[in-house]
Structure 1
Amino acid sequence: MKLKYILPVLFIALLSTACSSDDDNNDTVPEINEVDGLTMVQEIENSNHTIELYNNSGYFYTGYNDVSIRIKDNTTDTFYEDFTISWMPMMQMPMMQHSCPNSAIAKVPGKDTVYQGNIIYQMTNTDGSGWSLTLNYTIDNVDYSVTDTITVMQYENQNVTSFTGSDNVKYVLALLEPTAPKIGINTMKVGLYKMESMMSFPAVEDFTVTLDPRMPGMGNHTSPNNTDLTYSSVNENYQGNLSLTMTGYWVLNLELMDAMDNILKGEAVTEENTQSSLYLELEF
């Protein structure tokens, strides 16, 4: 065969190979890591499944914990996309046991295998012990359950508090936001729950939480443009504006008022009374 015929044939063969390779690469769908950016806290297993628990820090702390969940089939090593799941956190004390405020668990929009909920641990032992977590779930109309101990560390500042109001009701109040405080106006959110029983902590609606932030190390000065926290039925928590004028340690002095404006807990800050008995802490 003459050279003028060989060269076109080689060119066509090379072009066909290149196009085929490009087509193969285009058909490859990259695997998506649905827990990218999260850190695993713990795996809880039974003979059928492994339940993975994730959050941002990789630890459970006292206060508000946002938790992401996946369930893996131990046989196929794949993750389920459709299931229902609930949980029951439990604190074992010497003479009694109790639960804590916790949300329902729902599938995260836009994700196939990840579900999400939150738990508010109001206390823990000094070594992080005392808590267990039971997960009850259903896959393909079959019910399963798994329980394991978990470690809950004490958060460095007071981001949750339990108290009895003047109405003789026991409450749990927890700081939800800001999680990354900044100088300026921050959206402040708190969750408020009443202890209906040792196992039930429903959210409290239509109260008011007054706010007076102070810096004890700086003459106990306050800041301008704060607003009291009122209930949001959409988010099921209390929201207001928190003004932080500088970095450092802040005490968020609070008063809890019911729907009739009766003060259930806390006091105003004055020259004689430098801190409310109801407060949360923030440092950044």
Structure 2
Amino acid sequence: MKLKYILPLLFITLFTTACSNDDDETPTDEIENLVKIQEIANNDHTIELYNKNGKFKTGYNSVSIRVKDNTDDSYFENASISWMPMMDMQTMQHSCPRSAITKIADKNTVYQGTVVYQMTGTNGSGWSLTFNYTVNGKDYSATDTITVTQSEKQNAAVFMGSDDTRYIVALIEPKDPIIGINDLMVGLYKMESMMSFPVVKDYSIMLDPRMPGMGNHSSPNNTDLSYKATNTMYQGDLSLTMTGFWVLNLKLKNSEGTILKGEDVTTSNEKSSLYLELEF
């Protein structure tokens, strides 16, 4: 075949291939590496809940949320969402600490919030979750029961302070501890009412990590936790010198320096009354 015929055919082939590749491209999965926890639906929409392990557990939970239109399986990009977790204890009901739900900046259809389940019932029962949301100027609601499993270690503690206020402290980081210095982050909340659990600001939390199975030894280079206004959490340094089971002994101080809960670890007192646990 002559060159003058080959060149046009080659150009057409390349052009067709390029167009085909553009058409075949699919958008990045916005819930990649997440596992669906469950769906909560009404007649119009399905609210999908995701996290890293596909479960709600006692303690701190980060949740990714999408709202699907049941008519065409599309997802809303401009929804306004709030939520209310509720624990039914038969004789009483209460909620738990939770954040506002906000849009993830680099995602078109994914929203995010955090919730701290301070307890659960038999076989994970007792909790329900209600979403109130607005799409296209119209208000909707969806409710269903959820399962909250008990965490193996104490990653959240509920306690009464010496100021007669009930508090909740929850471990957030480290999720994957290492031998060495770890960024330690916890959330601190107070119970204003059965439905309101705001973040506590400008307190301090003293830290003394110990290994009960190894003579209750501590570790060097730990720092106490202080409040960070940028993320409304308490942060410090946690030194872990070996793998195994650790108890993070804590003492809570208010802004005046008064100890509200917790004690020093001594030879006669092996553990503070306020503590969290981790194992790696």
Q: Cα offset for 1:10?
A: 4.1
Q: Cα offset for 1:249?
A: 0.1
2:245 maps to which of 243, 249, 258: 249
Q: TM-score, normalised to structure 1's length?
A: 0.96
Structure 1, unmatched stretches of 5+, are 1-5
Q: Cα offset for 1:126?
A: 2.9
2:160 maps to which of 142, 149, 164: 164
Structure 2, unmatched stretches of 5+, are none
Q: Cα offset for 1:31?
A: 2.0
Per the alignment, residue 3 of structure 1 pairs with none
- Alignment of 1:72 onto 2:62: no
The 1-side partners of 2:257 and 2:114 are apart by: 30
1:33 maps to which of 29, 32, 54: 29
Q: Is the contact between residue 72 and residue 80 of structure 1 (CA under 8 Å) also seen in structure 2?
A: yes
1:51-130 matched pairs, under 5 angstroms:
51-130=47-126
Q: How many residues align?
A: 279
The 2-side partners of 1:104 and 1:170 are apart by: 22
Q: Cα offset for 1:27?
A: 2.5
Per-residue CA deviation, residues 49-105 of structure 1 (Å, 9 max, x unaligned), is: 011000001000000000000011100111111110000000000200000000000
Per the alignment, residue 24 of structure 1 pairs with 19
C-alpha RMSD of the superposition: 1.0
Q: Cα offset for 1:163?
A: 0.6
Which amino acid in the other structure matches residue 237 of structure 1? M
The 1-side partners of 2:93 and 2:243 are apart by: 39
Q: Is the contact between residue 170 and residue 194 of structure 1 (CA under 8 Å) also seen in structure 2?
A: yes
| 1:267 alignment partner, SS class | coil
- Alignment of 1:182 onto 2:175: no
Which amino acid in the other structure matches residue 14 of structure 2? C
| 1:127 alignment partner, SS class | helix
The 2-side partners of 1:250 and 1:186 are apart by: 13
| Structure label with greater radius of gyration | 1
The 1-side partners of 2:219 and 2:101 are apart by: 38
The 1-side partners of 2:32 and 2:58 are apart by: 24
Structure 1 runs of 4+ aligned residues shifted over 3 Å read none
The 2-side partners of 1:169 and 1:78 are apart by: 46
- Alignment of 1:228 onto 2:228: no
Per the alignment, residue 128 of structure 2 pairs with 132
Which amino acid in the other structure matches residue 21 of structure 1? T
1:215 maps to which of 199, 211, 217: 211
Q: What percentage of aligned pairs have identical amino acids? A: 60
